[in-house]
Amino acid sequence: MAKQLLDDNLRKQLGQLVPRITENIELVYSLDERSASEDLEKLLKDIAELSDKITTRRDDDAHERKPSFSIVRTGSDISVAFAGIPMGHEFSSLVLALLQVGGNPIKEDQDLIEQVENLDGDYEFVTYMSLTCQNCPTVVQALNTMAVLNPRIKHTAVEGSLFQDEVKENNVLAVPTIYLNGEEFGQGRTTIEDFVRKLDTGSAAREAKKLNEKDAYEVLVVGQGPAGAAASIYVARKGLSVGLIGERFGGQVLDTNSIENFISVPATEGPKLAAEFEEHVGQYDIDVVKAQAATGLTPATEEGGLHTVHFGDDATLRARALVIATGAQWRTLGVPGEEEYRNKGVTFCPHCDGPLFKGKSVAVIGGGNSGIEAALDLAGVVKHVTVLEFGEACRADDILMQRVEETANIDVITSAATTEIVGDSKNVTGLTYTDRTNDESKSLDVAGVFIQIGLVPNTQWLGKSGVKLNKMGEIVVDEHNATNVPGVYAAGDCTEVPFKQIVIAQGAGANAALGAWQYTVTAPKA
């Protein structure tokens, strides 16, 4: 008997949205004998009941993979496809696809829309995703949006757990993994801007030209995580011209699954919180520029003058005051095999990639909160988890360690220094570590290694700027979040703040913004 996937709550949500569909759409599906096929058929028929603009049709020859379905705009070449059942994190992708194929306006920058529409070529994308992956919806929704804008772009989102043979054949050990015209195209969180930049060789030059033509800001915020979002809002509320530029809106928050310590919000997820940051920023007159990574800083030659931030080879933005909020990234082990087997068993996201190791043994490197939380999450999916902690004891909260003790398939090894990740040239097969109590070398047979050993600040681009960094590469700031360079402020995980927390980053961003505002008021204009 088919499962009831569309419960009352989801049905109500969809019922409120489907009136936005203005074009007739058809859900064309292909089934096999698996129970998932029954579940999919019921889901699609339940959706169709919500609108007279939606019809269903079974055609087992329509799709190579089964169960699969496509959402087709009637009388057009516009369609997107799902192989599997897009629930969990992908339910939002299903809803958005229904609306967009159904004629609901696409909410993207007009220049970006035109770039997608003008892509010259035939592109057949396949994305391997997991329903527990937080980064996958970004990729799925980006490619679906592009397929709606340009009928020469086709996209199928494949639920890896339902197509294990295909996943194994393609050696997919990390999601999202993206294929283009049968060849691996990329992995990880990828936005429409990222796809356009890769597909349109002239886009980088056009983007650089647009940046260079912008007037100088009174304050430029570099970084779009919690600190950057807070800083830009505080500057905008002071009536100053402000730019907010970064690689990805939300920063490290996007990689955070469960958030239960964001005050006033008992529980949320990283991508949802990041979207709320972006929505809040959008309520102010803030010039937001996405998908740009800073590559250098040339400070003003005199107090009150213009600082210049460099992007790529030849793009710049200028401002009287800067707030640097470029955050941090996952710290790596720096041992042999780590890079060789990245995304082939070496990974950093248990929520994204954990389901790909079902029935296998894995290791988690790091016994802090992140490592222990990863181990607990993985324990419900994989055969066995071994936690390797460098120190004499794990540093995670007591409540987490108590849960570990109560979980039968988790072992913890302390005083363990990982020395090498080994494999068969294709995938990870194990690792070696040194027992620091006696210097004995030991080995561990595992199919996956999840690295959770903290963060490193994204400050490499400041190397020749004169901005003072500590020995960890973190930016040194004072009580006003000012750096040693007049008019340059910093906030969040890229600074020497001892505790890396969302609420702390936001507070620091507000503090830095107020410092920058005060600087623009008091510093002489050069």
Asked if residue 335 belongs to a domain, the reply is no
**HSE-up of residue 520 (Cα within 13 Å, Cβ side):** 24
Spatial CA neighbour of 141 closest among 184, 84, 186, 98 = 98
Same domain? For 285 and 369 the reply is no
What pLDDT sits at residue 48?
Answer: 96
Same domain? For 106 and 132 the reply is yes
Domain that holds residue 219: 208-329+456-522
Is 0.85 surpassed by the pTM of this model? no
CATH number at residue 30: 3.40.30.80
Asked if residue 336 belongs to a domain, the reply is no
Q: Is the dihedral of CA 509, 511, 515, 517 positive or negative?
A: positive
Q: How many CB atoms lie within 10 A of CB 420?
A: 15
- Alpha helices by DSSP H, listed for 150-282, are 164-169, 192-199, 203-212, 226-237, 270-281
What pLDDT sits at residue 343?
Answer: 86
CA distances from 413 to 385, 416, 475 (A): 11, 6, 34
Same domain? For 508 and 426 the reply is no
Same domain? For 175 and 150 the reply is yes
What pLDDT sits at residue 461?
Answer: 97
Helix (H, G, I), strand (E, B) or coil at 388: strand
> If residue 379 lies in a helix (H) or strand (E), which one and from where to where?
helix 369-379
Residues with Cβ within 8 Å of 100's Cβ and at least 6 positions away in sequence, in order, are 106, 144, 145, 148
CATH number at residue 219: 3.50.50.60
What pLDDT sits at residue 30?
Answer: 98
Q: Where is the domain boundary, 200, 218, 248?
A: 200
Same domain? For 263 and 407 the reply is no
Same domain? For 379 and 443 the reply is yes
Number of domains in the chain: 3
Same domain? For 71 and 146 the reply is yes
Residue numbers in the chain where pLDDT is lower than 70? 1, 526
CA 430 remoteness from chain centre: 27
What pLDDT sits at residue 427?
Answer: 92
Q: State the SS3 of 368-413.
A: CHHHHHHHHHHHCCCCEEEEECCCCCCCCCHHHHHHHHCCCCEEEE
pLDDT per residue as tens digits for the range 432-454: 999 999 999 999 999 999 999 98
Q: Where is the domain boundary, 405, 429, 453?
A: 453
- Alpha helices by DSSP H, listed for 282-364, are 350-353
Q: Is the dihedral of CA 425, 430, 434, 438 positive or negative?
A: negative
pLDDT per residue as tens digits for the range 106-142: 988 898 999 999 999 999 999 999 998 888 999 999 9
What pLDDT sits at residue 312?
Answer: 87
Same domain? For 225 and 287 the reply is yes
Give the Cα separation of 123 and 126 in Å (integer): 10
